[in-house]
Chains A and B, each alone.
Chain A
Amino acid sequence: MLAKCGLEKHDIIADKLFKTIPVLAISGEDSALDLILYEILELLINEVKADIGQINLLPKGGRIEKLCIVKDGKPWLRRGKDMHQFDPSKGFTGVVMATGESILVKDIWEKGPDKKSNPFLELYPHLNLKYRKNIKAPVGSIIILPVKRGGDIFCTIELSRYREKEPFNKEQKNFLDEFAKNYGPLIMDYIVDIKDRIAINTAHKKLIILSRFIGSNKPVDYTDAIEPYIKLSAADLGFVCFKTGGVNEVVYRLVGWQGKQIREIILHGFVPSVNSLLRDTDDSFPIEGGGDKDERLRRFYDTIQNYPDFEEEERTFLLKYVKKVKSYVIYPLNMLNQDLGIVVLGSRYADFAQFLHMNPFLALYNSLLKSFLINERVIYYLSEISLKIHNPGFYCLNAIKGILVQKYPEAFADPDLSMAIGGLDQLLTELHDSGKVLQWRKKNILFIKWLQSYITQKNSLLPGVEIYLDFKSKSLSDCIISANEEQLETIFENLITNSLRAINTRRVRDFSLIGKIEISISKKKDRINILFKDNGEPYKTISGRGLSQIRSDVHDLGGNIRIFSKPYRVFLYFSINHKGRKG
């Protein structure tokens, strides 16, 4: 039947995938990628009767990771399991990487004539314990397929069968080879595109958050700012050292990550060592390094050991951390002759630097982060100038006036001198005020007008989700609230993001779901009441960050917020600013 239609089995599989993937991709979140990968593996697993399937991504300049593992028909690899990173040069994957050819191993436990002839047995003791027990121990035979872009392997697909079963055969390998050759690059390229799109979304969201922080009177959340480096690079550990503060008072903030763990350590009075990259340096970046004899790592280790102001627990954390780094790439955060710090992308694997370089998206994020940091520094310098003029500037100038009045009244009466002092006073006042120009201020905002334009933008950016505004009272359009666009954006952005998560959680079961978010607005006395609902379903939250941010911003606007879980509703209100009414 298939032959009659001119279609091979792998064409049918590809056809199914081409129909399903775009529907799954619609949410544009990490969860979409998981669903797509699961779908691909499930189809291949069913076709060759495999028990376990894995898709690994190995781009140069990006994350080397196990994207998806399916065992007994269920996704096995969960996000945050700290097992995503792996060394592609080892094991049978290493053989595929070296030869560029697929491989069929009938018994992965079979010892060769000498120890080295089975690369899996060599790697086995170093594998993650859970992975070893659940994914490798029960397996007998495997097929690993390379997926190439030009001559470069950028992905491998691994299928495994349990020991007690018949091993894979040549026909099955040929079928998979044919599929990988014809469709592998196309499907995986599409997946990489989706991944990149998600990555851009992540970087974009972080940049917006960062820009809001800079546009507000809130300090930058450095822990949040480094997340794109964790998500978009192959570094399984690394840190960004931010140089903050003014000319005379430098404060270094070291934000490091290791797997899921992120820590910020503030180094007051820290003086970088003579050859440190945190000083002005002639080194050309990015710098690659690593290995046991690496001078830079050794020096950093010594600095941590001898720095007096660490809590012991911080010191232990950092020392353990530096010891784990086997290779690294360092990027500077330099702009307009300002040292803003460094980014260190590290790995627990030796000779891994080639994979650690930033991909284009991360490089873009890095550049924009530098601009934001320099903006932050300019604001700091300006406020420092204003502060110095405030004190001792005005005190000093008035001391001159006082001395003249008391000791040299004739001189003070001299119109030329009074004019000079008056001019100086004016100049200082101008500089003092200029230093406060870049300051966050609340303003009078026509709330409904703002919300309508914000939701119009959101609706155009979110395919598959419809946001409705429902006005329950008359004369809402005149309501003015005293706020700032950044604050309002933060509140609504967080609420919509929460709803999108809830909608995507329901989408896992129901691909065709059209997400609906309903915002009802009414007016009662001096308040604008807002009721926020969606058609998603509850999801597990890792941190309550979004919520605490919303709460603090709503309180700052003289309002309040309550969240009800069954069914999910958010009720919030803002105070109307009657004084702000024009006319």
Chain B
Amino acid sequence: MKAKILFLDDIFSDLFRKKMPSDQLVWDDNWVSAVTDAMLESNQNTDIVFNVIKSGEIEAWDDLVKKEKPDIILLDLFWPEQAVVKYNDRRRGTDISLDILSKIRKVYPDLPVVCYTVKPEKELMDKAYQNGATFFLEKVTLAMPEIHSPLKYIFIYLLRQAENKK
């Protein structure tokens, strides 16, 4: 069985990559490789092949979802550079994703959305669930695939739930 994950993270956006010096981007890129490796490694136990589409174009979520037809969205919650553009205030990084999350929910009420953030807070978790998150997770920034492997099993659970709803 195949499952497509749309991975929306500011790490993939031009805005972020232009802002961050290349020697600092290394840590992000290593982490992304670890997450992707964890998803893509051959998995005889689950019998599901994950296909990860990475994008930093959060504002283009609608076109992306229409084009890619993902089974799950993995949504990073913190988008400071996009907040500078939209609100002229980098502190509103989570407002960007929470706003998009509620928009996704209106158009796709059943599409599983896993929200992901470094150092979560209760207030943010409550808001994410209020705006339609299916699952709220702490982003572990260790660049080791085995650390991220459990993510797959959360996805599988959500896929099964979605399947049962149909």
Contact = CB atoms under 8 A, between A and B. Distances in A.
A402 B141 CA distance: 10
A150 interface: no
Contacts of B30: 395, 399
Interface stretch (A286-294, A301-309, A383-391): A383-391
Given A394-B141, A399-B30, A217 B118 contact: no
Given A390-B119, A402-B142, A432-B119, A219 B89 contact: yes
Given A398-B141, A399-B30, 14 more contacts: A217-B89, A390-B78, A391-B20, A391-B28, A392-B27, A394-B141, A395-B141, A396-B24, A398-B31, A399-B27, A399-B143, A401-B142, A429-B119, A432-B119
B91 A439 contact: yes
Given A219-B88, A387-B90, A392-B20, A406 B28 contact: no
Interface of A: 217-219, 379, 383-384, 387, 390-392, 394-399, 401-402, 405-406, 429, 432-433, 436, 439, 441
Contact of B143 (A390, A398, A433, A436): A398
5 contacts: A217-B91, A384-B90, A395-B27, A429-B119, A433-B119
B154 interface: no
Contacts of B157: none
Contacts of B144: 402, 405-406
Nearest to A428: B119
B4 interface: no
Nearest to B140: A398
B90 A383 contact: yes
B143 A402 contact: yes
Contacts of A217: 87, 89, 91-92, 95
A394 B119 contact: yes
B157 to A, nearest CB: 26
Nearest to A439: B91
A433 B20 CA distance: 21
A430 to B, nearest CB: 11
B131 to A, nearest CB: 13
A402 B78 CA distance: 23
Nearest to A383: B91
Contacts of A396: 24, 27
B70 interface: no
Nearest to B25: A392
B80 interface: yes
A384 B90 CA distance: 8
Contact of A392 (B24, B119, B123): B24
Contacts of A392: 20, 24-25, 27-28
Interface in B108-126: 118-119, 123
Contacts of B31: 395, 398-399
A390 B142 contact: no
Interface centre among B24, B89, B95, B141 (most CB of A within 10 A): B141
Contacts of A439: 91
A433 to B, nearest CB: 8
A392 B143 CA distance: 13
Sorted from nearest, which 5 A-B pairs have the closest CB atoms?
A395-B27, A219-B88, A392-B24, A398-B141, A398-B142
